[in-house]
Chain A
Amino acid sequence: MDFGFSLSPSSAVNLDKVDLSLYDRLAAIDPGIRTCIGCGSCSATCTASAYSGMSVRKVLLAMQRGRMQEVEKMLSNCMLCGKCTMVCPRGINTRRLILNACRLYANVEGEA
């Protein structure tokens, strides 16, 4: 059916089709990551964000919205300094999250 217009595939997130396998695998390792409230403390304090737009909040969100390229781009700048872990009000172990995401990114079905 053609309504004479279409949604741009890049701007809409179709939750029916999002591949959550990476997020789910990371949450299986540490369920704490599901408790993120998106407060942005991690992004604001991030040492690498000034040069790259790295943000743990956005990494978690992008993973849940299927925007995997953004995940890769952001994680490629992380310096692992641990400030985000220090400030997170939910106590999420963000360093562990980042390392596991870097490890499991390409091969989502790979080794534990």
Chain B
Amino acid sequence: MAEYIAVVGGGIAGMETAVRLKALGLEPVLIERSESLGGHVASWHRLFPDMSHADKLIKDLEKGLEDVDVQLGAEISSLNPLRKGYSLVLTNGKVYPCRAIVLATGFSLFPAERKEEYGYGIYDHVITNRDLEGWFNGKADSRVPESPRAIGFVHCVGSRDIKAGNSQCSKVCCITAIKQAIEMKEKFPEAEVYCFYMDLRLFGKKYEDFYIKAQRDYNIHFIRGRVSEVAETIDGQVQVKAEDTLSGKPVRVRLDLLVLMAGIVCNADNQTFTQAVQMPLDDDGFFRSRDNVGAITESDRPGVFFAGACTGAKTIPETLAEARSAALNVYLYVKGLK
């Protein structure tokens, strides 16, 4: 009987892990809950910093999966430890004896309606970063006006916010907001675009260039102040209240579109996995790595590995790099080399 390596989650982390495991001569089975691969990235349009197309990344990864056993629309219904490895029973009835498991379950996007003061789901012209990417991808969205004159981006929605249950920084929203602001400005050169931020955290390669470009070439207004309330005017615009903390004055601005940068939060069902394999969850709700410096893709349990944002907010290059690292670690583990 073949010994499988289970890769749980068909986002880019899981896809890349499965591709690399196959290349290393192992037999991965990629398990994805939804009916298609690609995870969050599949709903995105273009990616920073090169403005490459998200669907190209997904297609490239899919090519490497041609000979891999991919189980779509399937979840793990039970997970039982064997003498060496685990036995996985899927909801579609299939059973896989697995030598190792790679958890690549990723993250959830913060449900923006939970911050009611921003009016997502209440007002007509409030959308999230994901909604905007969908619109970039050609999905019709009545909330995006035909020719907006003013557009606002709210950073840190559900990130660095103890009230939202997530006190961590989501890392990617600052650069995503700048990317989206530039894209909107390209589509609507006449519109004023505002970014409301607490701190701008542009740590990655070429991120600062994006910021400079947004300032110099696109005249995007950066306002250092967190939006506290959003109201709707009689003519359907949204009115944003914030403090411009640099001038120390309250600012109000009427916008035709408000985009909320929903943050990266842990999956609510992470606990079902940790309970099944009897390992602790980290206090931020993500999976806990054996060591956050030297062994980020390894868990406390032998044969259980992590890849990507299931251990915390990650960028795409970080996720792909971790996926490769996880695949290599699985290989070493299975061959008894480590």
Contact = CB atoms under 8 A, between A and B. Distances in A.
Direct A–B contact in complex, judged by CB atoms less than 8 Å apart: yes
Interface majority SS (helix, strand, loop, mixed), chain B: mixed
A45 interface: yes
A58 interface: yes
Interface stretch (B62-70, B180-188, B204-212, B225-233): B225-233
B210 to A, nearest CB: 22
A55 B225 CA distance: 13
Given A39-B225, A39-B226, A44 B241 contact: yes
Interface string A30-50: 000000011111111100011
Q: What is the interface residue range for chain A against chain B?
A: 20 to 34
Given A39-B225, A40-B245, A89 B156 contact: yes
B163 interface: yes
A95 interface: no
Contact of B198 (A37, A50, A91): A37
B161 interface: yes
Nearest to B161: A89
Contacts of A38: 245
A67 to B, nearest CB: 12
Contact of B163 (A55, A57, A58, A91): A91
B140 interface: no
A87 interface: yes
Q: What is the interface residue range for chain B against chain A?
A: 20 to 34
Contacts of B113: none
Contact of B241 (A37, A45, A91): A45
Contacts of A39: 198, 225-226, 245
A90 B198 CA distance: 12
Interface of A: 37-45, 49-50, 55, 57-58, 86-91
Interface of B: 117, 156, 160-164, 198-199, 224-229, 241-245, 248, 250-251
23 contacts: A37-B160, A37-B199, A40-B228, A40-B242, A41-B226, A41-B227, A41-B242, A42-B228, A43-B243, A44-B229, A44-B243, A45-B229, A45-B241, A49-B250, A86-B163, A87-B117, A89-B156, A89-B160, A89-B161, A89-B163, A89-B164, A89-B226, A91-B163
Given A38-B245, A43-B245, A90-B162, 19 more contacts: A37-B160, A37-B198, A39-B245, A41-B228, A44-B226, A44-B228, A45-B229, A45-B241, A49-B250, A50-B250, A55-B243, A86-B163, A87-B163, A87-B228, A87-B229, A88-B163, A89-B162, A89-B198, A89-B226
- Nearest 4 CB-CB pairings of A with B: A40-B243, A45-B228, A39-B226, A44-B228
